[in-house]
Structure 1
Amino acid sequence: MSEQDDAALTAAEELALARLALDSGELEHAAGHVAGALAQAPTLPEVHETLARLAAVGDGGVELFPLNHHAFVGSVVARAHLLAAAGRPAEGLDLLAAATGHSPGVDWAGVPWVTAPELAERLDPDRIARILMQICAAVPDPVPPSGRAALGPYLALARNAVTVRPDHGLLLGAASALARRIGETELAVRWATRGVRAQPSKLGEVWLGYAHRSAGRTREALAALTRAVEHDPDDLAVYADIAGTLADNGRLDEALRWIDHALERDPAFDCAVHTAHRLRFARDGDVAHLVALTDFVRDHPDDTHEHTDLAESCRSRPWLGQLTPAGGTLVQVIRQAVHDRPAARGERLRLVAPEPPSALRTLAAAVPELTVESATDVPGPDPRQPRRSGTRQLWAYQADTVAPAIPPPSEEAVRRIRQVATPAWPHPPAAYDAAVGLATLDLPDLLGLLVHPPDPPATALGRVLNSQDPSLWVRCVQVWACLGLLHHRTDEPWDTSVRRAVLVDLLWGVEDWTTEAALFALVTAAWVDPQVRPDVARMTAERLADVAEVGRERPVPIATSLAYLALATPELDRQMVETAYLLIGGRPRRPGRLRRFWYRLTGRPLS
């Protein structure tokens, strides 16, 4: 199904052209414009009046709206209405359901013939149940409030149908599933309960369990789902549903027992495997479970349906699903400055310890009137010097200033980084895939982005980041530039590749936000390629050990972030895991500030 080709015409203009074509006897031309009007205003009475005129002179008009491989959605809806008018409402309803699957938020079915009680009397209840299940499969669960009105006509059809056939178990269950999705939980419970009484079945108990769960009745939900297992002990998806319900209510040990039962029956059943890894990660926080899930997904591309366990586990977690806010004194000054706090706009700031060069540059751009005096007495290793010799130089220091040591990136590189850079991602493999758009950038461009981050894009996200904390946007650019490095010359063997050599240089360069970005790229490489995991785990352990040692002599602003990165590293030595927890100061907690920015921007949780 396709969208309208000519979106420039309004519904009124389409109707005017359709009427002119009708007056001229050009029925196919008129049909095209009626379809265009329907696509934009599917419930407008004038559109349906014009469609009726077309049907009257066009032998019913059905054949004027043929179905083909790329049928236009307006033509599909027009055909549906004409089929209903021709006495074939079941076929018409099938087409409206297909249109709803194509664009669930559009009120395709908001017409009298769909909600008329007599339609339910004419149609076979099994056919109605299948249509309701088709609608349920096409919409989110639950449907956001903004999208529920468009499904109201289908709920009216369900009401009419269960009135006519009050003891049809399949119909009652499908109606319950639709009601539950659009927030009618009590109605969903009543219908599902009647369905189970009329016709006990596994599917009916599953629908009842879901309805109780949506209504907040956990005990009743678990009882129904357990009865579903008794109906069919081989349906392992129900085991996963029970486990998920138990876990959502803090009963993790019971949940894992159910998953273990499922895996005993089929160790490769995708729903059980996904749920098992998610729950085990929730129990102990060991990233090995999520890495194993990543491997399973890669090795089983033909799962029964799309799963969200990996993304749910990584959501809002440092580096697994989002970058961490920067640490250090200057970041606090930057945040104060953008909020117009007078204390942040003093004339002179004296540092007691060197700060990352990226922080200095970000402060200079955000608060140009502020003079920064560098620390003169630096205990321990100087953070302005690379931690290993021979690494490439991104920055040039001179007195109290720092400047990029490499040229700025091209305009094309700036355009592309603005398209992909974001502070959140579903999980590391998804971030790797999203960075493929940077694959054709040259190495100088990718390095130039690290030290010459462009202004944020003129989007809602860009405005929020710039107004709340400019350092977040700079870190976004650096993270995605390093992810772009992972796609540089991928034909080269990892051990001797340019991409590895450059990232290692950045990892052991001066203490900077680019250190964190480089390590995240290396960690991401380990997630997507099992063969590089030992190498990345070794590098992570060495860099973390170095940070811990330096941290005994002076503060290391990037220490906490590197510790979180270590916890995200596959196959990291257990001793280094404990070192990471020590640097963090305990079990990792989800940072809230970035999550609040994202929710303010999108109205939904960070993904």
Structure 2
Amino acid sequence: MAAGRLRQAAFHLGQALFHDPGVVDCYTALGEVAEAAGSSGAARELFKGDGTSVFPGNAAAIIALMAAEGQVADAVELLGSLVGVHPEKPWAAAPWFGEQQIPPVSVGIAVSAIWGAVDNPAPPETVDALAPWLALARKAAADPAAGADVLCALSALARRLGAHEEAIAWCGAAEQAEKAAGRVTQQTLIMLGYAHQDAGQPERAIEVWERAVALPPKNADLLLDLVDLTHDQGDFAQSLSWAERAVAADRKGVKPRAALLAARYRAGGKGSDADRLAELVDLALAHPEVPYLRTCVSRASEGAAWLQAVPPPTEAIARAFGHLAGTESDGGRVTDVSSRATSLEAPTPTTLFHTRFPGSTIAVPDPSEPDPRIPAATDFGPPLWTYDGTRATASVPPPAPEAVDLLHRVAAGIWADPLTAYDRAAAFSKLDAADLLGLLAHMPAPRDAPWVTVQRERPLYWERLAQVWVCLGILHHRPEELWQRSARRALLLRLLFGPDDWTVDAAAFALCVAAWHDPGHRTEIADAVARRYRHAARAVGRRPTALHDPLALVVLICPGVDAGTVALARKNLDREGPHWKDPRRWALPKWSRRRDR
């Protein structure tokens, strides 16, 4: 300024305001720039830049100059737009802000630009930055001139900042004002419902939105809100009813269609469940720009076997593992174990048991037919496990330490839905086939403290889950190869048709996910899964089989499996009992997508 380079001075002042909009000296210097320029109008020109865009700090300077000229209402409206771009900045810390009474309509315009840009709920730092705006909203809400639209906008900001009682009260006042005028609008009731919902009052929100639905116009988005809220309340029948109405209101919309498919799947229909699920997944993959579709996939997957919860180990040796591991955790020592099993169990848990307790011996009788040691087919490579009598041995060497570390990073929880799992499993693409197979055959013990704790209640569950993660990772192995001749296809089919083991149904599930991602391969994958299931089903009623139930559950979600195989799977599962029908008890911490509201 001393050298007369006012534009350069304006540049530095804009940078300072962006760094900290609350520094009082910045506004003092701004007055000096205006005085040197001859007027506030001339000073504003210094901050406009090239005329195509304005730096946020420069915009704050222009707005402050307007306020100094007495255009405070206009300044508040413009500052709201600036806050909408950078809500984490304390723009309202400017000394001119909040000094005068602002017309409610101007506050409503400003606040409307802010609440749409703020997360719900807002993070603590944003709540602090927007505290002056909440104070301004309170002044505006107390003004008799505040109309219903303004009160609803103020409510939207308040609920994001945690002022739930005021948010409800302001929308309630808006409804009363509209009643007095002779007509309550749908929009006011929608905003009142959101205020109740964010305050943790879902029943009140549903009641208000039911009144809103009865008002014009037809509103598919409102119906979807009711779908979501009733689903979250566990009222799946009502959620399905609202989804049907949403489709009727918007027959071409992908969101109502996805909500209906998820609601029907969740409601538990039979016969075409896998088809509904496949159509839902197809919609989500075809429209990645619509996050709500992935929410619907997660909703359909919630608590469902394989879609979210991997079936837990059911082998007796897994329970024995948990008992002995618990003994050691309590300070005891397990030096040797000698026991007799009633039947041959899967090689993965058996090997894990012998690895943890190397002095153990378990006498196992020769299995009845069909022999679980014999691969269903060897067309795609040698089996992962070979047998010497009843003792299984891995046919591949252990993985590299780097592969083990990667597994622990990826397999930190269960997934919200298979699409989320597929995305996360892409981290395994850096591993070669030897390490992928090595992880499956030489599964490490869990490292993370929560999983170590889980071992007491669900012995070997992490190892079971981790094998599924690895099989999903195989889907990303050499992705440039065409599926039909790809190494990933050969690896998964090699596992699928191997001896009875956890890796069989893990591979079947991974193939099911592959079928969702590429409809062109569904027929081949469905045929392979059905063939392996029918081979496993021969054991039902003839010998103990831990493979049947989880593999049957894959059949029920795999698209394209023939009706006869699906019927057989349902029949055998019903014979086995109801335990498989409530996998919610398997639920553990999961990787999930943030749900945008």
Q: TM-score range by the shorter chain?
A: 0.7 to 0.9
Map of 1:194-205 to 2, 5 A cutoff?
194-199=173-178, 200-205=184-189
| Residue number in structure 2 paired with 1:124 | 106
Q: Give the equivalent residue in structure 1 for 2:582.
A: 589
TM alignment of 1:86-165, pairs within 5 A: 86=65, 87=67, 88-100=75-87, 108=90, 111=93, 116=98, 118=100, 120-121=102-103, 124-135=106-117, 138-140=118-120, 152-164=131-143
Task: Indicate the residue corresponding to 2:148 in structure 1.
Answer: 169
Relative to structure 1, is the Cα distance of residues 259 and 455 closer, same or farther in structure 2, using a 3 angstrom cutoff?
closer
Residue 542 to residue 196, structure 1, CA distance change in 2 (3 Å): same
**1:311-350 alignment to 2 at 5 Å?**
311-339=298-326, 340-341=329-330, 345=334, 347-350=336-339
Tell me the distance in 1 between the aligned counterparts of 2:576 and 2:62: 65
1:325 alignment partner, SS class = coil
Shift of 1:451: 1.8
SS, match of residue 500 in structure 1: helix
1:589 is displaced (CA, Å) by 0.9
Tell me if structure 1 keeps the 8 A contact 2:78–2:110.
no
SS for the counterpart of 2:209 is helix
> Which digits, 9 at most, give the CA deviation of each residue in 1:73-130, with x for residues without a partner?
xx85x56765564324443333233223xxxxx5746847598363645871341341
> With CA pairs under 8 Å and 6+ residues apart, which has the higher RCO, 1 or 2?
2
Scaled by the length of structure 1, what TM-score is found? Answer: 0.77
In the alignment, the residues of structure 1 paired with residue 547 and residue 384 of structure 2 have an alpha-carbon distance, to the nearest angstrom, of 17
User: Shift in Å at residue 54 of structure 1?
Assistant: 6.6
Displacement of 1:423: 3.4
> Are 2:175 and 1:191 equivalent residues in the alignment?
no
In structure 2, how many angstroms separate the alpha carbons of the residues matched to 1:56 and 1:516? 73
Sort the Cα spacing of 1:294 and 1:345 in 2 relative to 1 into closer, same or farther, 3 A: same
- Per-residue displacement from partner, 1:359-412 (whole Å, max 9, x unpaired)? 1333344x3465132413433344333233555232344577544322333455
Using a 3 Å threshold, how does the CA distance of structure 1 residues 347 and 145 change in structure 2: closer, same or farther?
Answer: farther
2:278 aligned to which of 271, 291, 303: 291
In the alignment, what sits opposite 1:358? 348
Q: Given residue 130 of structure 1, which amino acid in structure 2 is its aligned partner?
A: S
Alpha carbons 2:81, 2:114 under 8 Å: kept: no
Q: 1:569 aligns with which of 529, 553, 558?
A: 558
CA contact (8 A) 1:120 1:164 kept: no
How many angstroms apart in 1 are the aligned matches of 2:243 and 2:227? 6
Task: Specify the code of the residue in structure 1 equivalent to 2:135.
Answer: A
1:520-579 per-position Cα deviation (integer Å, ceiling 9, x unaligned): 111111222222223333333333333332132332233332233223222332403413
Deviations 1:237-256 (A, max 9, x none): 12223344455556555544
1:8 corresponding residue in structure 2:
none
The residue number in structure 1 matching 2:571 is: 579
SS of the aligned residue for 2:361 comes to strand
- In the alignment, residue 106 of structure 2 is paired with which amino acid? D
Match of 1:15 in 2: none
User: What is the CA–CA distance in structure 2 between the aligned matches of 1:358 and 1:594, rounded to whole Å?
Assistant: 22
Separation in structure 1 between the aligned mates of residue 47 and residue 94 of structure 2, nearest angstrom = 23
- CA distance in structure 2 between the aligned counterparts of 1:434 and 1:69, rounded to whole angstroms: 41
For 1:317, the aligned partner's letter is A
- Is residue 274 from structure 1 mapped to residue 263 from structure 2 by the alignment? no
What code does the residue aligned with 2:193 have?
G
Aligned partner (choices 7, 20, 23) of residue 48 of structure 1: 23
Alpha carbons of structure 1 residues 594 and 296: separation in structure 2 relative to 1, 3 Å: closer
Shift of 1:139: 0.9
Q: Is the 8 A contact 1:80 1:96 kept in 2?
A: no
Distance in structure 1 (CA, Å) of the matches to 2:536 and 2:81: 63
Unaligned runs of 5+ in 1: 1-24, 101-105
Residue 435 of structure 1 and its aligned partner are, at CA, apart by 2.6
Distance 1:344 1:558 in 2: 32
CA distances 1:25-77 after superposition (whole Å, capped 9, x unpaired): 999789868866x5xxx8xxxx7357567757777999799899999xxx85x
CA distance in structure 1 between the partners assigned to 2:519 and 2:584 by the alignment: 29
1:464 corresponds, among 450, 454, 479, to 450
Q: Work out the percentage of aligned pairs sharing the same amino acid.
A: 26
User: Counterpart of 1:241?
Assistant: 225
Shift in CA distance, 393/442, structure 1 to aligned 2, threshold 3 Å: same
Task: Please give the per-residue CA displacement for 1:396-437, whole angstroms capped at 9, x wherever unaligned.
Answer: 445775443223334554454444334322322232233333
Give the whole-Å Cα distance in 2 for the aligned partners of 1:131 and 1:440: 44
Structure-2 separation of matches of 1:362 and 1:150: 54
Larger radius of gyration: 2
- Give the structure 2 partner of residue 441 of structure 1: 431
Deviation of 1:518 after TM superposition, in Å, equals 0.7
Question: Which moved further from structure 2: 59-68 or 282-291?
Answer: 59-68
Aligned CA distance change for structure 1 residues 451 and 70 (closer, same or farther; 3 Å): farther
Q: Which moved more, 1:147-156 or 1:204-213?
A: 147-156
- For residue 310 of structure 2, give the secondary structure of its aligned residue in structure 1: coil
Does the residue aligned with 2:558 lie in a helix, a strand or coil?
A: coil
* Whole-angstrom CA distance in 1 between matches of 2:305 and 2:53: 43
How far, CA to CA, are the matches of 2:569 and 2:24 in structure 1?
Answer: 70
- Whether 2:192 is the aligned partner of 1:211: answer no
Deviation at 1:492, TM superposition (A): 4.8
More off after superposition, 324-333 vs 468-477: 468-477
Structure 1 letter corresponding to 2:450: V
Deviation at 1:168, TM superposition (A): 1.6
Partner residue of 1:259? Answer: 243
How many residue pairs get aligned? The number is 552
- Once the two structures are TM-superposed, the CA of residue 275 in structure 1 deviates from its matched residue by 1.7
| Cα distance, 1:308–1:445 mapped onto 2, change above 3 Å | same
1:505 corresponds to which residue? 494
Superposition deviation, residue 276 in structure 1: 0.9
Q: Distance in 2 between matches of 1:430 and 1:349?
A: 43
Aligned partners of 2:302 and 2:308 also within 8 Å: yes
Q: Distance in 1 between matches of 2:48 and 2:506?
A: 54
Q: Supply the distance in 2 between the matched residues of 1:69 and 1:502 (Cα, whole angstroms).
A: 56
Give, in whole Å, the separation in 1 of the partners of 2:17 and 2:446: 43
* Alignment correspondent of 2:383: 393
The alignment yields a C-alpha RMSD, in angstroms, of 4.2
Post-superposition Cα deviations, 1:314-353, rounded to whole Å, max 9, x if no partner, equal 1332210243332212322333444425789463142413
